[in-house]
Chain A
Amino acid sequence: AQSVTQPDIHITVSEGASLELRCNYSYGATPYLFWYVQSPGQGLQLLLKYFSGDTLVQGIKGFEAEFKRSQSSFNLRKPSVHWSDAAEYFCAVGSSGTYKYIFGTGTRLKVLA
């Protein structure tokens, strides 16, 4: 079955610390992978995407993610977190053969001053 798992429901980090949010997927076809961020009361904003090619992708706001096919993972990283990064983060998977993108349940990030 196709699925996306974000194992961490909540993560708390101190401002300036590094961040890694985990995402694992189960998908039959070659996946398209996405990370979205949702601030309170807002819609989802695309941070970055992976379709093919270089497995390390750069996104907006200093985020990056690495696609590891052998581990079925697409973890999101940031070297130094800012207070404004506090939000909920969603991993999603899709493919060229379908328009039904599957979203994970989200990871809520709290940033301590």
Chain B
Amino acid sequence: DAGVIQSPRHEVTEMGQEVTLRCKPISGHDYLFWYRQTMMRGLELLIYFNNNVPIDDSGMPEDRFSAKMPNASFSTLKIQPSEPRDSAVYFCASRSGANVLTFGAGSRLTVL
């Protein structure tokens, strides 16, 4: 298994631009999570899905953030418009029936 796959690994963009981060979870995992990691706030849960349905998006910071999961093998996190304070590492994780989260390598976003 290739694990959780995220793209891009690094993204540098200018303030106001749209950013789309992508995630392919592990096949068979029915939960998918998006986290954000910053020095100041640590690891924050943004949103999670169960069987492609968003269950809890209370961690999404603003309406500028949106996430979708059109099918069991793909999810996106979109920021529109992006701001410098959105600079962070964004992690996708999927969860097996054994209650263990498996993380992707992360997408490092820099907004200038």
Interface on A for B, CB 8 Å cutoff? 32, 34, 36, 41-46, 49, 51, 90, 92, 94, 96, 99-101, 103-106
Contacts and interface: CB of A to CB of B under 8 A. Distances in A.
B95 interface: yes
Given A99-B95, A100-B56, A106-B42, A43 B103 contact: yes
Question: Taking chain B's interface residues, is the majority helix, strand, or loop, or is none over half, making it mixed?
Answer: strand
B112 interface: no
Contacts of B45: 100-101
15 contacts: A42-B106, A43-B4, A43-B91, A43-B103, A44-B93, A46-B100, A46-B101, A49-B100, A99-B33, A99-B50, A99-B55, A100-B45, A104-B42, A106-B42, A106-B43
Contact of A42 (B42, B102, B105): B105
Contacts of B48: 99-100
A45 B51 CA distance: 23
B99 A43 contact: no
A96 B56 contact: no
Interface string B69-112: 00000000000000000000001010100011111111000000
Contacts of A99: 31, 33, 48, 50, 55-56, 95
B93 to A, nearest CB: 8
Contact of A96 (B4, B31, B43, B99): B99
A50 B4 CA distance: 23
Contacts of A42: 105-106
Contacts of A32: 99
A42 B4 CA distance: 12
B89 to A, nearest CB: 9
Contacts, number: 47
A42 to B, nearest CB: 6
Given A99-B31, A100-B56, A105-B42, A44 B99 contact: no
A94 B103 contact: no
A7 B103 CA distance: 24
A104 B71 CA distance: 31
